Amino acid sequence: MVVPTQDAVADHGRRYAERLREAGTSVRLSEYPEAEHVFLTLPGVEPQAEAAQAGILAFLRASLAK
């Protein structure tokens, strides 16, 4: 899960990740300090977007390779 810390619903993302863990689901929570809600859609504008997208892609590749 990707959580931008400057998002009004960041706490919801954290709680959702925790509930998934409690249910036995493997979860990786990545928080991006100072990032806002739509930061993932703004590569080249939002400094953390490309790193977050690369992290998501790496996670998906590793998960699907299993």
Report residue 66's pLDDT band, with 50, 70 and 90 as the boundaries.
Answer: confident
For residue 36, give both structure tokens: 């806002």
Report residue 53's pLDDT band, with 50, 70 and 90 as the boundaries.
Answer: very high
Instruction: Give residue-wise pLDDT tens across range 13-41.
Output: 999 999 999 999 989 999 999 899 999 99
Report residue 5's pLDDT band, with 50, 70 and 90 as the boundaries.
Answer: very high
What one-letter code names the amino acid at 42? L
Backbone angles phi, psi at 23, to 5 degrees: -85, 0
- The C-alpha atoms of residue 54 and residue 11 are separated, in whole angstroms, by 23
Name the H helices within 1-66: 10-22, 49-65
For residue 61, give both structure tokens: 């590749």
Report residue 8's pLDDT band, with 50, 70 and 90 as the boundaries.
Answer: very high
- The C-alpha atoms of residue 50 and residue 65 are separated, in whole angstroms, by 22
